[in-house]
Homo-oligomer: A and B are copies of this chain.
Amino acid sequence: MFREGEWVLIRYEEKRYLRRLDPSGSLNVRREVLRFRDLIGKPEGIRVGRFEVFRPTLEEIILLGFSRKTQIVYPKDAFYIAFKLGVDRNSKVLEFGTGSGALCAVLSVIAGEVHTYEVVEEFHRIAKENLSRFGLGGNVKFHLGDFLEAEVPENTFDAVFVDVKDPVPYLEKVHGVLKVGGVAGFLLPTTNQVSALLRNFGGKFGGVEVLEILVRYYKTVPERLRPEDTMVGHTAYLTFCRKVGS
């Protein structure tokens, strides 16, 4: 049953809204009105007029509910990263920078323990709020500060994900805190950054892969099935590699 104060995902044809169920609230789309007090106490998955109301999925929470002061890691990328890092519920994972917390939220669903570092105090605070507002991240430890200066023992993490402008200065430290054989991943928007990263792997990382993920959505009219007119053309290149022991 929907409860007062809960976050809900409201669909109206191709539109999607994430709203908190304030009993005095309502949503008005194309002259049709959905009153939130009518939803409270009703079962999830309800249809009212052309509105459909669900509990939001993780993807909807990230895309529609997270406050953003930074570019987020898109769900299409985050979902792939989480598995590609080889993470499971026994894994201890590191990621930095936290940014808005999107990847952090995804990793926390699958990993045992997530440590995240963020230099900018505002981003650190917003990411924490983003996750806690939606009841996510119970297994996440948010650190304020530059991971370069963090005191972390060698061979601590099963996987590390790096989302900073210039990952090169972090490579040696990432290599150190990774368990041997562990996976490191990197998100970089430009080809120049990827080249610079690859140039600096030296012999310390093996099994290198660079890839990008494209999602193509289709219009859902059965008699007129076709891709959407526009699509996301680029978010970032993903690079993965594994720590090679000496």
Which of these binds chain B: A30-38, A120-128, A140-148, A199-207? A199-207
Among B110, B213, B227, B232, point to the contact of A234 (Cβ < 8 A): B227
Q: Mark A180-216, 1 if CB is under 8 A from B, else 0.
A: 1111000001111011111100010011111111111
Among B55, B86, B215, point to the contact of A181 (Cβ < 8 A): B55
Number of copies: 4
Task: Report chain B residues within 8 Å CB of A78.
Answer: 83
Q: Are A43 and B211 in contact (CB under 8 A)?
A: no
Task: Report chain B residues within 8 Å CB of A176.
Answer: none
Task: Report chain B residues within 8 Å CB of A89.
Answer: 89, 109
Complexed CA–CA distance, A65 and B221 (Å): 32
Q: Are A58 and B80 in contact (CB under 8 A)?
A: no
Complexed CA–CA distance, A215 and B214 (Å): 6
Residue A22 is within 8 A (CB to CB) of chain B in the complex: no
Interface of chain A, main secondary structure: mixed
Residue A5 is within 8 A (CB to CB) of chain B in the complex: no
Among A45, A213, A230, A234, the most chain B Cβ lie within 10 Å of the Cβ of A45
Residue A79 is within 8 A (CB to CB) of chain B in the complex: yes
Complexed CA–CA distance, A215 and B144 (Å): 34
State the Cβ distance, A37 to closest chain B Cβ, in Å: 18
Output the nearest chain B residue to A78 by Cβ-Cβ distance. Answer: B83
Complexed CA–CA distance, A125 and B85 (Å): 29
Task: Report chain B residues within 8 Å CB of A45.
Answer: 180-182, 206, 242-245
Among A80, A83, A212, A243, the most chain B Cβ lie within 10 Å of the Cβ of A83
Among B84, B110, B180, B208, point to the contact of A59 (Cβ < 8 A): B84
Q: Are A213 and B214 in contact (CB under 8 A)?
A: yes
Residue A233 is within 8 A (CB to CB) of chain B in the complex: yes
Among B88, B194, B219, point to the contact of A225 (Cβ < 8 A): B194
State the Cβ distance, A186 to closest chain B Cβ, in Å: 12
Complexed CA–CA distance, A86 and B110 (Å): 12
Excluding A47-B203, A79-B83, 13 further A-B contacts by CB distance (< 8 Å) are A43-B181, A45-B180, A47-B245, A59-B84, A79-B79, A82-B83, A83-B109, A192-B195, A198-B225, A199-B222, A210-B217, A229-B234, A231-B234
* Interface, chain A (partner B; CB < 8 A): 9, 11, 43-47, 52, 54-55, 57-59, 75-76, 78-80, 82-84, 86, 88-89, 106, 109-110, 180-183, 189-192, 194-199, 203, 206-235, 237, 242-245
